[in-house]
Structure 1
Amino acid sequence: MSGISLFNNLVRNSSKINFGSRVNQIVNFVAKNDTRRYLSSKVVKDSKIRNIGISAHIDSGKTTLTERLLFYSGRINQMHEVKGKDQVGATMDSMELERQRGITIQSAATYIDWKDHNINIIDTPGHVDFTIEVERALRVLDGAVLVLCAVGGVQSQTMTVNRQMKRYNVPFIAFINKLDRMGANHNRVAAQLKQKLGQNCALVQFPMGLESKFKGIVDVIEEKAIYFDGDCGEILREEPVPNEYKDELKKKKQELIESLSNVDEELGEMFLDEKVPTNEQIQNAIRRNVINRTFTPIFVGSALKNKGVQKLLDGVIQYLPNPSEITNYALDESSENPVKIPINPDRSGENKFLGLAFKLEAGRYGQLTYLRVYQGRIKKDDFAYNVRTGKKHKISRLVRMHSNFMEDITEAYAGDIIALFGIDCSTGDTFVTDKEFKLSMESMYVPDPVVSLSIKPADSNMNDNFSKGINRFMKEDPTFKVNYDSDSKELIAYGMGELHLDIYATRLEREYNCKCILGKPKVAFRETLLEPFEFDYLHKKQSGGQGQYGRVIGTLEPLPAEKYQSIEFVDQTTGTNVPDQFIPGIKRGFQNSLEKGILSGNKVTGLLFRLTDGANHCTDSTDLAFQLAAEGAMKQAFTEGKWQIIEPIMFVEVTAPEEFQSAVVGNLNKRNGIIVNSETNMGWFNLQCEVALNDMFGYSSEIRSLTQGKGEFAMEFLKYLPAREDVVNKLIDAYTTDKTPTKKKKKN
């Protein structure tokens, strides 16, 4: 029996065994005996490796699809469902919370062999609250599969994932899933890809029948009908295309060639000359343009009904790039002005090692660091250096992850995704094995938290466990932060949404036996300037000995609305009135003053500090003096300038049966929502609107009540805009009340 088979048998009989005590035994057995074990070696060519992510809007079927990829590749021998009805759950949802809630919370890595190719896969969450998991996965991947629901189509998180792929220049193919569902329409989804995401795309497959009549797919390029027989759809049967689909096949192939001709020079010339390209020419053109991100082929199927998954795997190999076809860059830190230099992805192992830590997890054996190897080779017992800190670490254990299980390996080469034990680092750190090799990889984008609430342990005796858990979660997740508020004397947790913070509170209770009390969620309001303010501030102090002298002159300006989350500092001084060595102190004084605004005590953003002139003293001017001068100028601006409060606006998408449309619209209007788009399809409506986050608390339970549990919604941060007058007045009143000292009663 293989290690994987043993593992599955143990899971199925988990009620009869002490599962925790057998983990190491299972993992070691798998590593030593499983004949399907992935082998990382330089004999594996670049062209035989794919690093892909599975990304989509929530509930589009990503984890179900990944479960099928594992099954058909022989990585597991039995499929399980996401909800865990059989008490097992999907392989990639290893956390108990994920199985209970039926959602993916953490990205999980695995690997499979398919037709002599090694494919590393990262299954990512779909909920916007866990968007950092998608960010760091896409940062290190060479390609991706964008999964779309055949009913929901392009939804809010689909747009977010599309932007993330664009940010990291990740090529992708699309897979329209759930064609067996009522209301499925592949043509509508393909049209949305073009209209909403601006993709140049075309179907390379189309379904034979929809909903309950979905029986197979037609390959547009090969012109074959493909059926998926067997209990699990494991037997592929190819037949000539039935007559009823031949007209549609001809139309879809013409659309495919035309879409490719618009972006591919070779096919464009053939199209103009009215030549018919061969199947091989079409496939080569698709691959070229997928890698260039100028074309997206669309595959179709139903993961739950075991249709179309194997052909999607063929598409991953055929169209997505291998590591050598993607140009990655590193910053040369050895020079004063770091410059970008290309990385050599050759797997010979002769180049110097370079790797990026993109994800951290804390487990029973210490910190587990996920690493993408970009260049060279790393071996067990090597010494690696953290470029940021300069610390030296011995690589005592190298593993390759399969969900939450690991298999020991002895070495890894460029293009591999591995994990290390015993490395103390942060997300985004670069590692090298040559201390003099001072290259660093660009880190991933980390969005700012939008929701905060107070948090404290229910039992003060649990303070140690509480601190351990909070410190671990903050290290693992850059979007989760906990700070002490000196005014309210409370710990404030910051996150991407109510669900995000609720998940961490639940994990504290389960993993650290520390039940937490959460306060009312608070919105990340901000303050910004309404109109430019000119400042001229002199900080002068003489108290015996050396004094302090610094003068700053300039303008404080509001940034445009699209930059409300930013702050900028511009030095426009000329001459020697403000020596260059004091500029950092002025900038520091400006930044220190942004922690609390004058109106509501919230952070100040959306400002440009333009320094134009100043004055210094030959002996009394210091870095501290100019820092205090900048802080004084900001206090002057707070007192005399005109300020406003801005609030986060969310993009909200609601899907529900048409019979509840008027009730949903009325409720959103009551929440001061602005509807930007509405469409209906097969008895369901899809509503897109913009609503202030402050008006969205409690909406999850309200939408269920309004739609008899049939409606669902998704929400993501969109922008900051000025808050309504009634909201501003409440915030100012609350802040004024908190600042007013209460008079103590005199004791008799």
Structure 2
Amino acid sequence: MTFPIGKESEFKGIVDLLTLKVKLWDQDDQGIKYTVSDEVPADIKDKVIKARAKLVEQIAEHDDTLLNKYLNGEEITVHELKKTLRKTTVAYKIVPVYCGTSLRNKAVQPVLDAIVDYLPSPLDLKDITGINPITKLEEKRALNQQEKFTGLAFKIQLDPHVGKLTYVRIYSGTLESGSYVYNVNRGKQERVSRILLMHANNREEIDKAYAGEIIAVIGPKDSKTGDTLADPNHPIILEQITFPDPVISLAIEPKTKADQEKLSYSLQRLAEEDPTFRVKVNHETNQTIMSGMGELHLEILVDRMKTEMGMNVTVGKPQVAYKETVTKAIQDIEAKYIKQTGGHGQYGHCVINIEPLARGEGLKFVNKIKGGSIPSEFIPSVEKGVIEASEKGVLLGYPITDLQVTLIDGSYHDIDSSDIAFKIAGSMALQMAVKQAGPTLVEPIMKLEVTVPEAFMGVVIGDISSKRGKILGTEKRSRAVVIKSHVPLSELSGYATIIRSLTEGRGVFYMEPSHYEEVPKNIIALMLKK
């Protein structure tokens, strides 16, 4: 979309290939002011003309009218090119690319103009679909100011000066400071005391916000990321944001006893801001365990605790979030919990079937009791026992997942049966069934993309293969190569240091959770020996 004038430290401006306007950033160091002229520098004029011809051809290919004009040698106007470019960009057939430098903010303005010109606008959508929480039916809301208020809380930020900031995208209607909104997900009414427009680190307080705006509100206390805020008399639930489960954990503890209370408060604050960050206490070891999406994620959170919250903490070695599952179905596993005491005894009896599910389906409980062999009031207790037992597996104590538990039979005692007895029976039944159903471990697999100079491609691929990685393919980008692969997370500890040493500091990588896969039997055997 733009052609650079100069390169590296000599970069001083761009030529807009659509309008052939030259923009030079030679006024100040901050890149705020720039000059516009029609004079393309003579040394790059031929290259600019060739680049523009190629750009026009690429845009014209996506519109029959423009293609006919192009083939007949007719002039295509800038307005026609922009209109087609916007349509194809929104359809994700073309990705406009701009050059610039962030060091002196040079050529930032054309990128911002392109966002306005070519990316989707709130006005492109006429309505949005949600679920009415009362009727459970789909409902549409027109995206205009006249419609009833609907907004989505998409980010929570805890500010040291004003407290909790809830970022809201307003889909329909208007919102006034001092008004009340209904948090449909939590079933609570919340007051909006102040409305702020955020400009980077500057804030502008406003009295009213309109459909299409992104604002921060002060006041709501129970709102979380992904909650729908709506008119109290016209509730609707918009599509929810789903967050992946954490894949890596580490133990964290304060250096002094005085920091103990501060630690739980700090972790709670971080968890409120970041839905992919989880905190739990292991009651057996009395350790606080924090879990997240990767080593870097947890490193940043620990650093924030030290710098922003003044916490002195020590952290353990990162632990991978393994899970346990079964490899075969088992029928008719029977568990009885019978205890006789001086007064009433305890009696719980259930029979279950278990079968493996596909990866990512979690734990499912199915009730197939017929004829009242277990009274209906005790069935939730059996389910609760199954769920609690699934939190600690039989191999190495990791959570059990991707498993269907079907309650098929049981019996009860008129006097001795109780909730606790059936809960214990359900827990015993699952433990017994899993032991017989070929228990195994599954581990998180990461999607890893490594960008390296071509000279280092072989050594990096070799290293990935040595980590039980599967190479999915390579892609050439200019003078670099992108290696795409799936690698077990357990093999990627300290990968940032490894990739730097392998590539003389020139390699970069990106990774994200992909899926879970079964751990090889030889690795499980080694883990069981430890």
**If the length of structure 2 is used for normalisation, what is the TM-score?**
0.84
Q: 1:414 maps to which residue?
A: 211
SS of corresponding position for 2:500: helix
Structure 1 residue 494, shift from structure 2 partner:
0.6
The one-letter code matched in structure 2 to 1:332 is N
Within a 5 Å distance, the mapping from 1:320-719 to structure 2 comes to 320-326=119-125, 327-335=127-135, 338-348=136-146, 351-364=147-160, 365-425=162-222, 426-434=224-232, 436-537=233-334, 539=336, 541=338, 548=347, 551-554=350-353, 556-560=354-358, 563-564=359-360, 566-570=362-366, 584-610=380-406, 613-614=408-409, 627-679=423-475, 684-719=480-515
* Paired residue secondary structure (2:468): coil
The alpha-carbon deviation at position 694 of structure 1 amounts to 1.0
1:511 counterpart letter in structure 2? E
Structure 1 window deviating more from structure 2 (589-598 vs 266-275): it is 266-275
Q: Distance in 1 between matches of 2:60 and 2:371?
A: 63
Q: Classify 1:501/1:248 alpha carbon distance in 2 versus 1 (closer, same or farther; 3 Å).
A: closer
Q: How far apart are the structure 2 equivalents of 1:302 and 1:418?
A: 29
- 1:289-310 alpha-carbon deviations (Å, 9 max, x no partner): 544x353341322233756543
Residues 251/615 of structure 1: CA separation in 2 closer, same or farther (3 Å cut):
same
SS of alignment partner, residue 24 of structure 2: strand
Change (3 A) 1:306 1:455: closer
C-alpha change, 1:538 and 1:724, in structure 2 (3 Å) is closer
Deviation at 1:553, TM superposition (A): 4.2
Q: Is the 1:216–1:307 Cα contact (8 Å) retained in structure 2?
A: no
Using a 3 Å threshold, how does the CA distance of structure 1 residues 324 and 655 change in structure 2: closer, same or farther? closer
2:150–2:229 contact (8 Å) kept in structure 1:
yes
1:611-651 per-position Cα deviation (integer Å, ceiling 9, x unaligned)? 5x435669577776665554333122122220111111222
Aligned-partner Cα distance in 1 for 2:79–2:379: 61
In 2, Cα distance between the equivalents of 1:399 and 1:252?
41
- CA distances 1:376-425 after superposition (whole Å, capped 9, x unpaired): 22212212333334433332222111223321111112212111223212
Q: Could you give the per-residue CA deviations for residues 356-382 of structure 1, whole angstroms, max 9, x where no partner exists?
A: 222112222321111222222221221
In structure 1, how many angstroms separate the alpha carbons of the residues matched to 2:457 and 2:22?
40
1:257 aligns with 2:60: yes
Aligned residues of 1:217 and 1:308 also touching (Cα < 8 A): no
Deviation larger for 535-544 or 446-455: 535-544
Describe the SS at the equivalent of 2:308: helix
Structure 1 unmatched runs, 5+: 1-204, 735-748
Contact preservation (8 Å) 2:194, 2:205: yes
**Whole-Å Cα distance in 1 between the matches of residues 171 and 388 of structure 2?**
38
Structure-to-structure mapping, 1:11-50, within 5 angstroms: none
1:315 is matched by which residue type in structure 2?
A
Contact 2:148 2:173 in 1 (8 A): yes
1:312 aligns with 2:111: yes
CA distance in 2, matches of 1:284, 1:502: 45
The CA deviation at 1:209 is 7.5
Q: Is the 8 A contact 2:350 2:429 kept in 1?
A: no
Deviations 1:546-596 (A, max 9, x none): 975554443x22223xx2463334556777667777665554443322211
- CA 1:308–1:623 in 2, change beyond 3 Å: closer, same or farther? same
1:205-354 to structure 2, matched below 5 A, reads 205=1, 207=3, 216-220=14-18, 224=20, 226-231=22-27, 232=31, 234-238=34-38, 242-260=45-63, 280-291=79-90, 293-304=91-102, 308-326=107-125, 327-335=127-135, 338-348=136-146, 351-354=147-150
Aligned-partner SS, 2:142: coil
Paired letter, 2:396: S
TM-score (norm 1): 0.61
Deviations 1:276-328 (A, max 9, x none): 9765455434444544x353341322233756543333332223333232232
Distance 1:269 1:588 in 2: 68
Conservation of the 8 A alpha-carbon contact between 1:663 and 1:706? yes
Return the letter of the residue paired with 2:109. Q
In structure 2, the partner of 1:107 is none
CA distance in 2, matches of 1:400, 1:681: 39
Unmatched runs of 5 consecutive residues or more in structure 2: none
Residue 524 of structure 1 and its aligned partner are, at CA, apart by 0.6
Check 1:227–1:732 CA distance in 2 against 1; reply closer, same or farther (3 A cut): same
Q: Which amino acid aligns with 1:649?
A: I
The Cα RMSD (Å) is 3.5
SS of alignment partner, residue 405 of structure 2: strand
Amino acid across the alignment from 1:508? M
- Whole-Å Cα distance in 1 between the matches of residues 270 and 47 of structure 2? 56
d(CA) in 1 for partners of 2:298, 2:80: 51
How far the C-alpha of 1:605 sits from its partner, in A, is 1.5
Q: 8 Å contact 2:444–2:513 — kept in the other structure?
A: yes
Q: Which residue of 2 aligns with 1:141?
A: none
Aligned partners of 2:345, 2:132: CA distance in 1, in Å? 42
SS at 1:441 equivalent: coil
Task: Give yes or no for contact 1:651–1:691 (8 Å, CA) kept in 2.
Answer: yes
> Take 2:368 and 2:2, find their aligned partners in 1: how far apart are those partners?
60
AA aligned opposite 1:328:
I
Structure 1 range deviating more: 478-487 or 682-691: 682-691
Amino acid at match of 1:419: A
